[in-house]
């Protein structure tokens, strides 16, 4: 640790303080920080969405009325594919991308918002995102305009 610059030490310290604060404010519920932030943001946009209580729930993360909902979040500018899980395990899929994500639909990139929400039925996932190894969203397989957009100031 002696080799770290003071700015790096401060950044690491601030990161862990932020994690603690996010836990206290019920934004994150596990060590999967970005996934938890995505799930939290989904509850802001989809008012009738309820996160499952058990974080290890297999196949879906939330419900909207009686429908099982899988939530995926990505802010990666270099990830090739986003695994969409098994659409036989959920009824609906919400994909949340940040403005940094390489997966944003090209027409959405002009909007300059912080978060982009894409909402699919499991049938759409099966029809549009099937590959040999499962279901994925790739940079080259774009889909549609965002269903919702959100700026951090609006939360």
101 and 147 assigned to the same domain:
yes
* Reported pTM: 0.87
For residue 139, what are the domain limits?
Answer: 32-154
Residues 19 and 73 in one domain: no
Task: Please report which confidence band the pLDDT of residue 44 belongs to, taking 50, 70 and 90 as the band edges.
Answer: very high
For residue 53 the two structure tokens come to 């209580």
pLDDT at 27 (0 to 100): 94
Question: What mean pLDDT do residues 35-62 have?
Answer: 91
Domains held by the chain: number: 2
The HSE-up count of residue 155 (CA atoms within 13 Å, CB side) is: 15
| Full strand arrangement of the beta sheet holding 130-131 | 81-83, 134-138, 130-131
pLDDT digits (tens, 9 = 90+) for 66-92: 999 999 999 888 878 899 999 999 999
pLDDT at 100: 84
Q: Are residues 107 and 44 in the same domain?
A: yes
């Amino acid at each position: 640790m002696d080799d770290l610059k003071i700015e790096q030490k401060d950044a690491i310290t601030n990161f862990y303080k932020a994690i603690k604060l996010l836990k206290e404010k019920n934004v994150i519920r596990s060590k999967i920080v970005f996934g938890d932030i995505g799930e939290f943001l989904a509850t802001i946009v989809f008012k009738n969405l309820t996160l499952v209580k058990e974080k290890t729930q297999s196949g879906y993360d939330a419900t909207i009325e009686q429908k099982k909902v899988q939530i995926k979040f990505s802010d990666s500018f270099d990830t090739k594919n986003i695994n969409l899980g098994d659409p036989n395990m959920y009824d609906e899929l919400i994909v949340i991308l940040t403005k940094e994500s390489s997966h944003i639909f090209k027409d959405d990139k002009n909007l300059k918002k912080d978060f982009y929400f894409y909402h699919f039925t499991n049938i759409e996932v099966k029809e549009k995102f099937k590959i040999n190894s499962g279901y994925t969203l790739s940079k080259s397989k774009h889909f549609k305009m965002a269903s919702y957009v959100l700026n951090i100031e609006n939360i």
